[in-house]
Structure 1
């Protein structure tokens, strides 16, 4: 059964297959160059920039092919993909604030070690913009991945899964797509078992994040919300436990409490700060409120 539409003959096999093919196409686009350089080499980065740029035009074709005719008659492809101006200010700000709450502990450590002051230095941003690896991690990768794996996949999956199920199915394509890093790890001399375990951890992390990002896209209906949060999370990375251990006594206890406070506040604010009506989220709001999960 197709959730949210009166088209019961729509087969779930179609959107799932399209999502799989889109995922394979995205990863394949990174290897068409057959470069001998490692992934952080400037030449490889530039080539992959071009690949994902082309994918930004190819991915909507997959989305269009998998959408029901009735949906396309009611909404534009841009609206379905979350590319709209109405509510964009809220979409850029509120999910970011929510995610910063989750990272309250790491941000507090940046305050203690003085790194937060770096953000106020214009030279910090000027130098980063000139850095290809920074551009890849903070702009190009979040932009292309969120557009491909959220904007062009989640609407397809919502046609055959309930919203919450779609939120957890969608990141599986995202996580599996990151397994291609195992090829590069082995190429760099890391043994297969270690490379596999590292890739499994990466898969777990990206899948968890992907579910969160898909949830934000579901609730806000905006591509910008998932893109900005993705860029921020890439910047913050995994919490640095080793740095936490350098603090002693009461200060360490305070930092741990801030970590837990951030997690509790994030859980409490998750739904209020992503209320669909705040984002004029008609399409996804209808899914979320009219379907039993």
Structure 2
């Protein structure tokens, strides 16, 4: 049973949702404070945005400190613990989300095994090159780190004072999905027509929102920031499943991959609530019974 929102509420829904809205605006706005004609993938743009989002990460906890520290639901809890930085259950919270997300990507992972593209990902030279590549650092380190910190670690504690855990999990991904609409601005700047930009942006909104549900669920169930962070980084690594890759395989292999796609999804749905049992992670803060 989830804790009662009435018993735990310290903030009105208007304040908690309003704070999350402000955090979303601050995060997205920070990406556009620099006056530059370069596109989002230009090294200078990427480095400036690194600086911007790290400033946002320094400011965002102020909302949690102001409205959460000392509240009834978080009584005698440190700010670090509220944000999901704890030692109890940390190792499990790091490993389990990777395994769960691997299950979700069972089909694509098997496809990579057959075409041996995985060899490039695990090669020593590839990893050395990655850490000097600002685009790799953005996609697999800085973006997951800053987005999960802002949209999960700082927003969830605010929402959990006004809503039940399940409701909070449903609300926060909407901020995350809408925040990704800013990419439409850059698509239009690059010369893409409005219709195509809207379609792509709506598609991106859909899958980022769906991922947001998963990420928020991991955070509230484990009580650890590292859980959604590693899941986010892994999803960025895998990318959206390449359906064309399935179609290009020979008949029997095509059906095997389709079966693995479906099997992985079904198993993920079944295993997720069990593998994220709060007691496994010493989480008696966000998901009480």
Q: Same fold (TM over 0.5)?
A: yes
1:129-151 alpha-carbon deviations (Å, 9 max, x no partner)? 11111110000000000000000
Deviates most, 113-122 or 218-227: 113-122
- The answer for the alignment partner of 1:248 in structure 2 is 250
- Map 1:1-293; keep pairs closer than 5 Å: 3-4=4-5, 6=7, 10-67=11-68, 69-286=71-288, 289=289
Between the aligned partners of 2:224 and 2:194, the Cα distance in structure 1 is 39
Distance 1:73 1:284 in 2: 12
Gaps of 5+ in 2: none
Q: Find the aligned partners of 1:71 and 1:267 in 2 and give their Cα distance.
A: 29
Q: C-alpha distance in 1, partners of 2:76/2:18?
A: 24
In 2: Cα distance, 1:8 partner to 1:115 partner = 50
Q: 1:224 to 1:158 in 2, by over 3 A?
A: same
- Unmatched tracts of structure 1, length 5 or more: none
TM-score by length of 2: 0.95
Deviates more, 1:181-190 or 1:7-16: 7-16
Q: Comparing 144-153 with 66-75, which one deviates more in the overlay?
A: 66-75
What is the CA distance between 1:250 and its match in structure 2? Answer: 1.0
Deviation at 1:36, TM superposition (A): 1.2
Aligned-partner Cα distance in 1 for 2:260–2:232: 22
Q: What is the aligned length?
A: 286
C-alpha deviation, 1:5, in angstroms: 6.3
